[in-house]
Amino acid sequence: MAAQPAPRTDARPTGQPKHPVDEKLPALKMATSGLQHVAAMYAGVVAPPLIVGAAVGLSATELTFLTGACLFTAGLATFLQTLGFWKIGARLPFVNGVTFAGVAPMTAVVASAKDKSDALPIIFGAVIVAGVLGFVAAPFFSKAVRFFPPVVTGSVITLIGVSLLPVAFGWAQGPDPAAHDYGSTTYLGLAAATLVVVLLLRRFTRGFVKQIAVLLGLVIGTLVAIPFGVTDFGPVADADVVGFPTPFHFGAPQFQLAAILSLCVVMVVSMTESTADMLALGEIVERPADEKTIAAGLRADTLGSALSPLFNGFMCSAFAQNIGLVAMTRIRSRYVVATGGGFLVLMGLCPMAASLIAVVPRPVLGGAGVVLFGSVAASGIQTLVRAGLEKDNNVLIVAVSLAVGIIPITAPEFYHAFPETARIVLDSGISTGCVTAVVLNLVFNHLGKGECHDAGEVTHPMEAGEDLKAVPAH
């Protein structure tokens, strides 16, 4: 199918109101809502550079520089995704940042490097190649959208939420799993208090205050944590006011085949998860993501990844946790998320500003995360409600897909005997669950042209025997 120009997402008949995705909100509401998105994803962005930087043996100053660079490139990638240009960008309220899927192979590259000073250049070279190849493959990869009816998208959206909940539970227990007070009643109490504050604000307030309940919960939770000695203002005092991520600060990129292959596998995983995320967000904002939207979104992901190493950043991908924030607040404007991208860029240029978000204790983030990530799972269940679960075939698709996707959560060592490269894919429950749902939907609802089941059992708009190129209605 020949590629067609991506339609302007803000195009509409004269006199008709804008879609909520294309609305520009008042400045204060735009800023606070955008900051709320940054707060929701900050820990996820800074974790990979902290882990990889520590493995390389960077000094505290260099580690701060690497973290700031990843915040800066996350902001640029978010601009590409939300605002877009040409055929690049889904133009949906998507936050982009460093994908955690790359942490394991990147630390493996560090471990295999003879000279640790070469590790980051090798990683950057591999990310550039993976990003370029992903950009070329985006329009072909996007054609998979025709295989995502509600029974598949509902399963995947539910898995996204369920897969993120353990992250919130981990945050709630404290910042350091090796510490003696990890999981203490103090940490869990702060997480519970934050959760209660968010719930009370959502229940007893209205309008703008209700929409920024998570942000207010984070602020109140941080203030409550001060008497317990959990809130650390040290990062603010030690941070520089201005700092630009100098291009190729750690050296020119190096290209090694083994590292390139590992990061290409990560790129495939990242593109699979981004496709699922775009479908989920499209349902939530009531602008279903079609093939062109997904192709444009994947181009933004991959281009952002290819450009990120220029400023010392890692591979970028859509952040699923922010989908929960959109679902809960119902603020669907992509310009709000673009504003959040602006904050990320400023944080990359101003380490002191970045450190303000770092002040929020991890347990406080965990309490808010329960609401955010649970909202994603709830959105998936809503999608499954209209997926025809009264049909046995669809029940089996959902049951097996969820079971396969939950394996890495409930049994983290389940795939320990598999090669490291295979585990990059298998340890992503979202990816394995997504692939399982797509395959089972084909097997049960399409293959055999009705020989193995009655037509009435097929709830997908494309009945068995129809051309697989038909695009399902959402």
Amino acid of residue 267: M
| Low-confidence winner among 60-69, 173-182, 213-222, 436-445 (lowest mean pLDDT) | 60-69
Which has the closest alpha carbon to 301: 152, 86, 82?
82
Instruction: Report pLDDT for 239.
Output: 65
| Top-confidence residue, 454 or 75 | 75
The predicted model gives 176-184 an average pLDDT of 85
Alpha-carbon span 380 to 441, nearest angstrom: 17
91-148 residue pLDDT tens? 888 888 887 667 767 777 787 777 777 888 888 998 999 999 999 988 888 777 677 7
Mind listing the pLDDT tens digit for each residue in 302-343?
998 999 899 888 888 887 767 777 877 788 888 888 898 888
Q: Is 61 exposed, middle or buried (0-12, 13-18, 19+ CB in 10 A)?
A: exposed
The residue among 352 and 366 whose pLDDT is bigger is 366
Question: Is a pLDDT exceeding 90 seen at residue 217?
Answer: no
Report the distance separating Cα 70 and Cα 273, nearest Å: 20
- Asked whether the predicted pLDDT for residue 281 surpasses 60, the reply is yes
pLDDT at 448 over 80: no
Cβ-contact 293, 282 below 8 angstroms: yes
Long-range CB contacts for residues 15-24, cutoff 8 Å, separation at least 24: 19/287, 20/285, 20/286, 20/332, 20/333, 21/91, 21/92, 21/93, 21/285, 21/287, 21/332, 21/333, 21/334, 22/333, 22/334, 22/335, 23/332, 23/333, 23/335, 24/333, 24/335
Question: Mean per-residue pLDDT for 245-269?
Answer: 81
Residues 6+ apart with CB under 8 A from 153: 276, 279, 280, 283, 380, 383, 474
Q: What is the pLDDT of residue 451?
A: 45
Of 315, 208, 289, the residue nearest 21 (C-alpha): 289
Structure token digits, residue 334: 């992509």
pTM over 0.75: no
Of 439, 42, 22, the closest CA to residue 272 belongs to: 439
Dist CA 2 CA 4 (whole Å): 6
pLDDT score of 357? 63
Residue recorded with tokens 């994803």: 41
pLDDT: which is higher, 221 or 466? 221
Kindly report, residue by residue over 404-445, the tens digit of the pLDDT. 989 988 888 888 888 876 776 677 777 788 888 888 988 888
Q: Across all residues in the chain, what is the average pLDDT?
A: 78
Q: Tell me the two tokens of residue 59.
A: 């000094």
Residue 356's pLDDT band (cuts 50, 70, 90) = low
Query: 3 pLDDT band (50/70/90 cuts)?
Result: very low
Q: Specify the pLDDT at position 188.
A: 94
| Predicted pLDDT of residue 64 | 75
* CA-based radius of gyration for the chain: 22
Residue 199 CB-density burial (10 A; 0-12 exposed, 13-18 middle, 19+ buried): middle
- pLDDT reading at 385 higher than 60: yes
Q: What average pLDDT does this structure show over 351-379?
A: 77
Q: For the chain, how many residues are written?
A: 474
Question: According to the model, what pLDDT value does residue 353 have?
Answer: 67
